[in-house]
């Protein structure tokens, strides 16, 4: 018979071994976790790859500047402009010179107010206003052609550019017929129809201006400036006219038949003469009335 104590020891050893078996995998997993943590730490501590330095862009040549636009104002020196046209010359009158391309102020003997462009937009009108000396009161006569009659009379045809606008010209509103008194005058960059932007200057008499009691207000014969009416060849003898014979600033300019009334005549002041001090603008003169 075998020894019972020895058998008990053997059974105890097997029982202890059986109890240890479930814990073996857990231990192994712990060691693997530690190894993974060490590997992660090593990865985090490793230096990041260097970012390459930015490449300098290739220099770009600046764009070529466009040619400078021509100046809005033509030269003031008459020596740099075309030869003047003589308007109204006859056996009894030497006439007056108009320089194509030169700047002019134009004022009404009826009101002593200046022809003014009402704005820089299409179909802006014309009015009379107090003297300012700004470009909206400057006008340039650009010669279109010369018409010669059978008897040799030469008529100069002009376009009238308003310097207070972007290349706009004095035009008859609603076409070139001009058949009705009161037809409007506007500023357009292109003519409404053929001939509507063409104008003729006609020399007018410098009559005396008197009030209702025949008291002399002004003797225009003493003013050494050209005095013209401004008519359109297709407007059936109608001229630039101050509406209602107005003497107030803002008086509208339109077309009306005639040409000899003081609200239909216009004195011309050469801007170059004003700038040089040769003449004092009517709007800066101290008048007795």
Phi, psi angle pair for 185, to nearest 5°: -120, 130
Residue 229 domain-assigned (yes or no): yes
* Cα angle for residues 153, 155, 156 (degrees, 5° grid): 150
- Rounded mean pLDDT of 30-35? 47
Q: Are 129 and 194 in contact (CB under 8 A)?
A: no
Q: Any residues with CB less than 8 A from the CB of 172 and at least 6 apart, and which?
A: 178, 183, 184, 185, 186, 192, 196, 232, 235, 255
Place of tokens 């995998």: 25
| Better-predicted residue by pLDDT, 175 or 284 | 284
- Whole-number pLDDT of residue 219: 92
Residue 7 domain-assigned (yes or no): no
Domain that holds residue 101: 78-284
Q: Are 256 and 250 in contact (CB under 8 A)?
A: no
Residue 57 vs residues 54, 60, 63, 217: alpha-carbon distances, Å: 9, 9, 17, 77
**Residue 238 token pair:** 């109608």
| Better-predicted residue by pLDDT, 26 or 170 | 170
Number of compact structural domains in the chain: 1
Q: Which of 7-21, 109-123, 263-277 has the lowest mean pLDDT?
A: 7-21
Indicate the pTM of the whole model.
0.73
What is the total residue count of the chain? 289
Residue 186 domain-assigned (yes or no): yes
Residue 157 domain-assigned (yes or no): yes
CATH code of the domain containing 176: 2.80.10.50
- Whole-number pLDDT of residue 54: 58
Residue 212 domain-assigned (yes or no): yes
Residue 249 domain-assigned (yes or no): yes
Share of the chain above pLDDT 70, in %: 70
Q: Which of 6-10, 79-83, 94-98, 158-162 has the lowest mean pLDDT?
A: 6-10
189, pLDDT greater than 70: yes
DSSP per-residue letters across the chain: ---HHHHHHHHHHHHHHHHHGGGHHHHHHHHHHHHHHHHHHHHHHSPPPPPPPPPPPPP-PPPPPPPPPPPSSPPS-GGGSPPPEEES--SS---EEE-TT-EEEEE-TTT--EEEE--SSTTEEEEEE----SGGG-EEEEEEEEEE-TT--EEEEEEEEETTSSSEEEEETTSS---STT-BEEEESS-SSTTTT-BEEEE---PEEE-TT--EEEEGGG--S-EEEEE-TTSTTEEEEEGGG--STTPBEEEEE-S-SGGG-EEEEEHHHHHHTSS--GGGS----
Residue 234 domain-assigned (yes or no): yes
What's the rounded Cα separation, in Å, for the pair 287 and 279?
15
- Rounded mean pLDDT of 247-273? 95
Give me the residues paired with residue 170 across strands: 187
Computed over every residue of the chain, the mean pLDDT equals 80
Residue 99 domain-assigned (yes or no): yes
């Amino acid at each position: 018979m075998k020894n019972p104590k020895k058998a008990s020891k053997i059974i105890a050893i097997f029982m202890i071994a059986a109890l240890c078996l479930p814990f073996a995998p857990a231990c192994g997993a712990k060691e693997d976790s530690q190894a993974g943590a060490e590997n992660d730490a090593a990865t985090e501590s490793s230096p990041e790859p260097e970012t390459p330095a930015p490449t300098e862009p290739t220099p770009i040549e600046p764009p070529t500047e466009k040619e400078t636009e021509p100046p809005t104002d033509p030269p003031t020196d008459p020596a740099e402009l075309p030869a003047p046209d003589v308007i109204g010359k006859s056996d009894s009158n030497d006439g007056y010179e108009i320089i194509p391309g030169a700047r002019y102020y134009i004022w009404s003997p009826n009101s002593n107010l200046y022809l003014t462009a009402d704005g820089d937009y299409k179909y802006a009108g014309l009015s009379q206003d107090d003297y300012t000396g700004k470009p909206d009161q400057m006008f340039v006569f650009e010669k279109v052609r010369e018409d010669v009659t059978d008897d040799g009379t030469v008529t100069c045809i002009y376009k009238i550019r308003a310097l207070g606008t972007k290349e706009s010209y004095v035009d008859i509103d609603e076409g070139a017929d001009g058949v009705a008194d009161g037809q409007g005058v506007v500023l357009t960059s292109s003519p409404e129809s053929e001939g509507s932007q063409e104008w003729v200057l006609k020399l007018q008499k410098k009559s005396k201006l008197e009030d209702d009691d025949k008291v002399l207000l002004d003797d225009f014969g003493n003013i050494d400036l050209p005095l013209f009416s401004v008519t359109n060849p297709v407007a059936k003898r109608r001229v630039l006219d101050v509406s209602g014979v107005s003497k107030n600033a803002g008086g509208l300019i339109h077309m009306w038949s005639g040409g000899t009334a003081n609200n239909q005549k216009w004195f011309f002041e050469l801007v170059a003469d004003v700038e040089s001090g040769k003449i004092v603008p009517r709007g800066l003169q101290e008048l007795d009335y």
